[in-house]
Amino acid sequence: MRVYVPATLPLLAAWLEAGEVPPGRARAATPALREWYVEGDDEELEFSALLDAATDSLALLAEDAAAPRRRLVLAADVPDGDARPLGGPGDDEPPSAVELGAPVPLRAVVSAHCDEAAAEGAVRAAAEALPAARAGDEDAAFVVDGAEDGDLLWYDAAELRDLVAGG
C-alpha cells in the first residue's frame, strides 16, 4: 500500500538520522476514500490522499514554530497490514486516514513532496490560520486554502538529504 506521511523538514532530518519513519498517522487511498470519492480513478485517489497529508503537514508546522515553513509529505510503500484504515461510514476520521503500526524503513520511501521556498510566506500564514480555520473561521479557511493551492515539488527518495540540507 502506498502511504503518504506528513512531515516537516526537522522531522525528516530526525528520521534520516534514525533510518526510519516511526509508527503514526498517515494517509492512503483507503476503501473509505474510494467510497467517498466514487468517480475517482486510482491516480486521483492517491493525489487526494497526498493532499490530505499535506494538510496534516501544515498542522505539524502550526505546532513547530521553528520549522521552515514548507509542507512536506513522504510517499512510501508499506505492506498492507502495516497501515490500518481509520475512517469509515459514520466515523469522525477522515476517509484517507491510516495508522502505521510499524516503523517505515527509509528504503520504503519512494519520493518526497515539498513546497518550494517561494511558498514559505503563504505556508507561514496558513499554519498560523489553521487552528481558526478548523474552528470554522471562514477568513482563516481562505488563508489555508491559499497555501493548499500551491504545488508540491517532487523529489526522488535519493534526494532526501539534499532536501533537508537546502530546507
Residue-wise pLDDT tens for the chain (167 aa)? 999 999 999 999 999 999 999 999 999 998 888 887 777 688 899 999 999 999 999 999 999 999 999 999 999 999 988 999 987 666 677 889 999 999 999 999 999 999 998 899 999 999 999 999 989 999 999 999 888 877 899 999 999 999 999 86
Residues 82 and 47: their CA atoms lie apart, in Å, by 21
Residues 68 and 124: their CA atoms lie apart, in Å, by 9
Residues 130 and 90: their CA atoms lie apart, in Å, by 25
Start-to-end CA distance of the chain, whole Å, equals: 28
- Cell digits for 14? 530526525
- Cell digits for 144? 489555508
pTM of the model: 0.92
